[in-house]
Amino acid sequence: MPARILNGNAIRDQIYSELTGEIATLSSTGIRPGLAAVLVGENPASKIYVSSKIAASEKLGLASINITPPATISTAELLAIVEELNRRDDVDGILVQLPLPAQIDAKKILEAVDPAKDVDGFHPLNVGRLVAGRPNLVACTPLGVMEILRRGEIQIEGANAALLGRSDIVGKPMALLLMHANATVTICHSKTRDLAQTVRRADIVVAALGRPAMVTPDFVRPGATVIDVGINRITDAALAENLFARFPERLASFRAKGSTVVGDVHPDVANVAGALTPVPGGVGPLTIAMLMSNTVRAARLRRGSRIHATARS
């Protein structure tokens, strides 16, 4: 039987509905959570990502601030912008869109963000809290994957989980979240021996390698849950013919547009897995939803004393 589709758009809408109530509660105390996005230069993909984040903020009624310094900005100048946002009381969350231009020291910039406003969850202090099992603000994509698993009623406790990828943004925090949820976690990467055989033992597979359709059916145990984090745009007609040989509608769409987006998981895995996230419409919507959730959480944690004072008056 084809895999059950874990619909990220539907789960995102559930989360937004819950956040609307939280935002209304904060509003009743005179607090409007604010998100500041810093987009350096004119990277087209980054502009799309930031626009979607700002649109989600406005949809939920959050205050949004979009700062767009030129690509020629120096590390010192960008640090000054971050430090100003750290001082602003109307800013609860700060995201610095990656990648940054080559002349910028990206680590220095990310470490300059106030950990209490680090809604991307990249600051070493927030990473350390996650390692210690005392998370505060956690990287959005792994946090979104956990929401998909829990709301999709996928058994995590006691499950064998395999991660393909060990990045700081997805792989490492994902492993920690699954471990804290009592899964047994294997982290796979380019040096892993017998990769397909290792992954095939897993009940839950999270693919985050950035390589189109690398995870083929022989990687997946029948009935396993497969979470596809990859977003890869392809324009090669021969590759599309191969990937969509059993999916005529997707092939027709590719031929009409000349390109399409695929994940790190081969489409044929849908005939083996028990549950699967689609691309697009799977993990992507949850990444933005968790950014919104982190912004509201940051506002609640930063301004908690004022919320309690209002409630008592």
The CA distances from residue 197 to 107, 159, 172, 209, in Å, are: 36, 17, 21, 17
To the query of whether residue 59 is one of the catalytic residues in this protein, the response is no
Show the tokens assigned to 39.
């987009």
Whether 103 is a known active-site residue: answer no
Q: How does DSSP assign 158-214, residue by residue?
A: T-EEEEE---TTTHHHHHHHHHHTT-EEEEE-TT-TTHHHHHHT-SEEEE-S--TT-
**Cβ atoms of 61 and 23 closer than 8 Å:** yes
> Which is catalytic among the residues 114, 118, 120, 203?
120
Q: Which residue is catalytic, options 92, 97, 203, 264?
A: 97
User: DSSP states of 229-279 as a string?
Assistant: ---EEE--HHHHHHHTTT-HHHHHHHHHHS-EEE-SB-GGGGGT-SEE--S
CB 207 within 8 A of CB 232: no
Element holding 67 (H helix, E strand): strand 63-67
120 catalytic? Reply is yes
Q: Which residues are catalytic?
A: 53, 97, 120
